[in-house]
């Protein structure tokens, strides 16, 4: 080294010293240019490889839904498949199920897709609602709790590509029979024969005369999207364009919007008097009327809920009207108030046989004609001399109140009522009636009670069936 | 080049070579004595750095001499055009809780807060497992002490939280995602549980226009059924005077704090936040204190 040599790193004079006293660089250590070339080539090859992998990974190749496992929780994926259920609507989202049938187990090859606001509103505005049967390609973030419980959240409306399926004309019978129509879109015509009101949806039954298919209408569609009730009534003739989904193995029609349902007209029900109802009419829908002589509430053994109301009409021998509580609760408040003893009612029902007796099942949705009136069964002098299942009135003073245990539920009450003649008769108030009384009767009070005669503990009692049937005098 | 500094400090006393600021000669390994000021500078600097970090920790946690509380902002502000500039910032937000969920699988807490002045603006609040577990512990302690100030939020509460904001784009759309992460239980600065307004079930069912969703109400009635929905138990409460009923939702999560469901047939007074379930009103109970059995 020369005395005035300069350090190639710090640029200061080294005075020939190695390493550089200023920056401690050892200038004798050098890398060969060949090695540098080799390193550069390796890096270039690795770079090209990484780029190719990136290009492949970022390509629009959908992943098989059955391959989405818990390791892919929170990952973003592209899926492609057929809408198999939905759409369901929440306050700020729309959800539906997509399956690509990549596994023999449908649960594994199905994923629930949710689109939240504002993408949800965008889809609605563009009327791009994925319906059962449509082919969809969706990009979103997956949440995977298990192989059978996975969900995809979509943030942008543009991340959903829908290829709508054209509907085929069919009938309810064909849809129920023909498995090839599952997850296809169909247009059917039929008559609304009844409805079931669930907490989150209404299920309408559409009949073509020989078979009935269920039409699933989510309440979210009414409340958050259309913002009005569907307004279908029993015996409406409708044309529905919907997708054929399946619930517990039974085909079910699902619609995206109210515009998928068109009311064509109304079938006129056959007018039949109660006395004319016979076994020949079983299964048919009739319009009938009668005076309510008793409104009998039916409870359960596990709660104080009312499950059904049985209307005794005209005479005890006439067919009774059965109203399921979920249907009863869909009636307007004033109609509900009027459906009581003494009122006259005209309604559409289905003739059926229950427990060996002909009955008319009140079908919804409908608003019956109800006219307020009064009816009081004859006063029973002695219940023991009367037949079971007839109506009677017991009047008198309560001399004692006892209970009949009902397990964990509140007990039934048995009132010992002394009539003016001095005879003491038993009145049974079931727990679900007693607990609903605003001011239950007490011993020593004079009351009137109406009910049906039944047997409890080998003894005939008056069975009170609703809260209107017991009052103080 | 001329060496800088006193020669006894920059040249090795043993081999006489130039060593600059090094305390140990790189050539012969001898110790090169330095002035006291050099050592002071080095160790003093280190001490100041350590103390400074400790001070910052203490200041952030409670002293607040330098690190002041983050700004209180309105939830609506997060929807303004330049809100993405707040991304990763610390902020204090106040809103009404419209959704509170404890995720059993992850032990996370998820909550939506709605701007009290603008019901269209809401933000998702997330607390991870450590924070959520601490909140559960605090709530248990509160219940044991009988303190009226809740430690764990519930639907209907007015909640003030401090945390780290996420305001970012989704896809090519700016300012589409708003979230606040609460990193420690003290981040729940205030949980205010309004007293329930005494009302009749009949009025809630028939005159919904007179009520605001998520306002806390107090109703009285008889329990006529209890249904297990998995995530909650649904009590059907029957108002005997009007023959109307209403669903009362008790989150399953409350079972972590003990408590007992009222018996079927029991008359109770219950407070909760009003929610419309597909148009049907229901009340969400915030804690067991909201249910009072009337003897």
> Quick one: B157 and B81 in the same domain?
yes
Closest residue in A to B105 (Cα–Cα) = A145
Q: Quick: pLDDT tens for B61-86.
A: 778 888 777 889 999 999 888 888 88
User: Using a CB-CB distance cutoff of 8 angstroms, which residues of chain B are in contact with residue A432?
Assistant: 224
pLDDT of residue A13: 82
| pLDDT value at B1 more than 60 | no
Q: How far is B19 from chain A (nearest CA, A)?
A: 7
Partner-chain contact B279 A409, CB within 8 Å: no
pLDDT of residue A145: 85
In whole angstroms, what separates CA A137 from the centre of its chain? 27
> Quick one: B170 and B270 in the same domain?
no
> Quick one: B50 and B103 in the same domain?
no
pTM of the predicted model as reported, rounded to 2 decimal places: 0.79
Least confident of A25-34, A116-125, B50-59, B209-218: A25-34
pLDDT of residue A73: 86
For residue B196, CA distances in Å to B75, B255, B286 come to 25, 22, 11
Q: Where are the domains of chain A?
A: 65-163, 168-266, 270-371, 383-472
Q: Quick: pLDDT tens for A236-294.
A: 999 999 999 988 888 999 998 999 999 999 888 889 999 999 999 998 899 999 999 99
Round to whole Å and give the CA distance between A368 and B60: 69
Average pLDDT over chain A, rounded to an integer: 90
We find that the CATH architecture of domain A65-163 is: Beta Barrel (2.40)
Closest residue in B to A225 (Cα–Cα) = B278
Q: Quick: pLDDT tens for A29-70.
A: 777 788 889 999 999 999 999 998 888 776 678 899 999 988
Using only C-alpha atoms, chain B has a radius of gyration, in whole angstroms, of 30
pLDDT of residue B10: 83
- List the structure tokens of A447: 């009351």
Residue B152's nearest CA partner among B285, B57, B27, B11 is: B285
- For chain A, say whether B4 makes contact (Cβ under 8 Å): no
pLDDT of residue A263: 93
Greatest distance between any 2 Cα atoms in chain A: 142
Pairing of strands A135-146, A149-154: antiparallel
Kindly state the average pLDDT of the residues A7-18.
82
| pLDDT value at B183 more than 70 | yes
**Backbone phi, psi, residue A152, to 5°:** -125, 130
> Quick one: B162 and B134 in the same domain?
yes
Kindly state the average pLDDT of the residues A364-382.
91
Q: Which of A156, A222, A303 sits opposite B264 (nearest CB)?
A: A303
Q: Does B117 map to a domain?
A: yes
* CATH topology for the A383-472 domain: OB fold (Dihydrolipoamide Acetyltransferase, E2P) (2.40.50)
> Quick one: B216 and B264 in the same domain?
yes
- With beta carbons less than 8 A apart as the criterion, state whether A160 and A198 touch: no
Residue-number span of the structural domain to which B227 is assigned: 197-294
Q: Identify the CATH number of the domain in which residue B224 sits.
A: 2.40.50.140
> Quick one: B85 and B59 in the same domain?
no
Peptide bond into B231 cis (omega under 30): no
- Residues in a beta bridge with A79: A138
Q: Which of A155, A305, A438 sits opposite B224 (nearest CB)?
A: A305
Give the number of C-alpha atoms closer than 13 A to the C-alpha of residue A297, restricted to the C-beta side.
23
Q: Quick: pLDDT tens for A375-427.
A: 999 998 888 888 898 999 999 999 999 999 988 899 999 999 998 888 999 99
Q: How far is A259 from chain B (nearest CA, A)?
A: 20
| pLDDT value at B38 more than 80 | no
> Quick one: B142 and B35 in the same domain?
no
pLDDT of residue A1: 43
> Quick one: B52 and B81 in the same domain?
no
- For chain B, say whether A118 makes contact (Cβ under 8 Å): yes
Partner-chain contact B278 A223, CB within 8 Å: yes
- For chain A, say whether B106 makes contact (Cβ under 8 Å): no
Round to whole Å and give the CA distance between A113 and A96: 5
> Quick one: B209 and B279 in the same domain?
yes
> Quick one: B149 and B250 in the same domain?
no
* CATH topology for the A270-371 domain: OB fold (Dihydrolipoamide Acetyltransferase, E2P) (2.40.50)
Q: Does B2 map to a domain?
A: no
Query: Could you give the number of structural domains in chain B?
Result: 3
Are both A270-371 and A383-472 of the same fold?
A: yes
Give residue A362's pLDDT band: very low, low, confident or very high (50, 70, 90): very high
- For chain B, say whether A409 makes contact (Cβ under 8 Å): yes
Terminal alpha carbon distance of chain B: 99
Q: Quick: pLDDT tens for A203-237.
A: 999 999 888 999 999 999 998 889 888 889 999 99
User: Apex CA B162: angle with CA B157 and CA B165, to 5°?
Assistant: 110
- Tell me which CATH code domain A168-266 carries: 2.40.50.140
> Quick one: B215 and B164 in the same domain?
no
> Quick one: B43 and B95 in the same domain?
no
Kindly state the average pLDDT of the residues B16-41.
82
pLDDT of residue A109: 92
A356 Rama class: left (phi>0) / alpha (psi -120 to 50) / beta: left
Cβ count within 10 A of residue A327: 21
């Amino acid at each position: 080294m020369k005395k005035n040599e300069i350090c190639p790193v710090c640029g200061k004079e080294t005075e020939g010293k190695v390493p550089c006293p200023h920056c401690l660089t050892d200038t004798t250590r050098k890398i060969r240019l060949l090695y540098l070339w080799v390193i550069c080539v390796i890096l270039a090859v690795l770079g090209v490889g990484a780029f190719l992998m990136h290009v492949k990974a970022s390509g629009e190749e959908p992943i098989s839904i059955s391959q989405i496992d818990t390791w892919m929780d929170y990952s973003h994926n592209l899926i492609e498949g057929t809408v198999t259920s939905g759409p369901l609507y929440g306050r700020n989202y729309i959800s539906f199920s997509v399956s690509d049938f990549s596994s023999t187990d449908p649960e594994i090859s199905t994923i629930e897709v949710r689109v939240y606001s504002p993408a949800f509103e965008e889809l609605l505005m563009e009327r791009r609602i994925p319906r059962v049967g449509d082919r969809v390609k969706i990009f979103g973030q997956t949440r995977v709790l298990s192989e059978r419980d996975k969900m995809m959240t979509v943030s942008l409306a543009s991340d959903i590509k829908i290829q709508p399926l054209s509907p085929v004309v069919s009938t309810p019978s064909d849809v129920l029979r023909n498995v090839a129509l599952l997850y296809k879109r169909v247009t059917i015509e039929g008559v609304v024969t009844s409805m079931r009101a669930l907490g989150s949806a209404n299920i309408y039954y559409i009949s073509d005369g020989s078979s009935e298919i269920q039409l699933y209408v989510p309440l979210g569609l009414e409340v958050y999207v259309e913002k009005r009730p569907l307004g279908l009534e029993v015996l409406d003739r409708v044309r529905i364009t919907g997708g054929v989904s399946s619930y517990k193995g039974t085909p079910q029609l699902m619609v995206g919007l109210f515009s998928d349902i068109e009311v064509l007209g109304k079938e006129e029900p056959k007018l039949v008097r109660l006395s004319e109802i016979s076994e020949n009419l079983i299964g048919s829908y009739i319009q009938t009327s009668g005076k309510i002589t008793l409104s009998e509430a039916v409870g359960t053994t596990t709660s104080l809920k009312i499950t059904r109301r049985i209307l005794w009409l005209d005479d005890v021998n006439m067919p009774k009207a059965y109203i399921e509580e979920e249907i009863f609760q869909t009636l307007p408040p004033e109609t509900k108030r009027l459906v009581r003893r003494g009122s006259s009612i005209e309604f559409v029902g289905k003739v059926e046989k229950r427990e060996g007796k002909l009955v008319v099942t009140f079908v919804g949705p409908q608003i019956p004609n109800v006219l307020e009136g009064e009816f009081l069964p004859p006063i029973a002098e002695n219940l023991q001399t009367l037949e079971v299942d007839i109506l009677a009135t017991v009047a008198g003073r309560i001399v004692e109140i006892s209970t009949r245990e009902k397990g964990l539920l509140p007990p039934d009450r048995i009132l010992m009522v002394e009539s003016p003649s001095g005879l003491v008769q038993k009145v049974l108030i079931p727990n679900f009636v007693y607990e609903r009384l605003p001011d239950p009767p007490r011993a020593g009070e004079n009351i009137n009670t109406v009910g049906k005669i039944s047997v409890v503990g080998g003894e005939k009692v008056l069975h009170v069936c609703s809260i209107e049937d017991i009052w103080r005098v | 080049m001329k060496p800088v500094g006193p020669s006894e400090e920059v040249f090795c006393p043993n081999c006489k070579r130039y060593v600059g600021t090094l305390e140990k000669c790189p050539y012969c390994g001898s110790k090169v004595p330095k002035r006291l000021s050099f050592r002071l500078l080095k160790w003093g600097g280190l001490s100041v750095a350590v103390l400074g970090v400790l001070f910052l920790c203490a200041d952030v946690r409670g002293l607040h001499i330098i690190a002041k509380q983050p700004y209180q902002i309105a939830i609506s502000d997060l929807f303004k055009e330049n809100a993405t500039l707040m991304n990763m910032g610390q902020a204090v937000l106040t809103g009404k809780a419209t959704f509170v969920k404890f995720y059993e699988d992850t032990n996370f807490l998820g909550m939506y807060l709605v701007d009290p002045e603008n019901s269209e603006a809401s933000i998702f609040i997330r607390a991870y497992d450590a924070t959520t577990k601490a909140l559960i512990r605090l709530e248990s302690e509160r219940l044991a002490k009988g303190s009226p100030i809740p430690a764990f939020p519930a639907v209907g509460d007015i909640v003030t939280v401090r945390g780290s904001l996420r305001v970012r784009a989704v896809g090519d759309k700016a300012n589409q995602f708003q979230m606040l992460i609460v990193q420690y239980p003290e981040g729940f600065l205030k949980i205010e549980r309004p007293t329930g307004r005494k009302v009749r079930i009949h009025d809630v069912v028939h005159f919904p226009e007179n009520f605001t969703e998520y306002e806390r109400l107090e109703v009285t009635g008889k329990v006529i059924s209890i249904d297990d929905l998995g995530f909650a138990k649904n009590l059907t409460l029957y108002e005997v005077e009007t023959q109307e009923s209403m669903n009362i939702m008790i989150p399953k999560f409350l079972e972590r704090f003990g408590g007992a469901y009222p018996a079927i047939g029991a008359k109770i007074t219950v407070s909760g936040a009003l929610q419309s379930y597909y148009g049907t009103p229901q009340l969400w109970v915030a804690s067991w204190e909201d249910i009072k059995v009337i003897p």
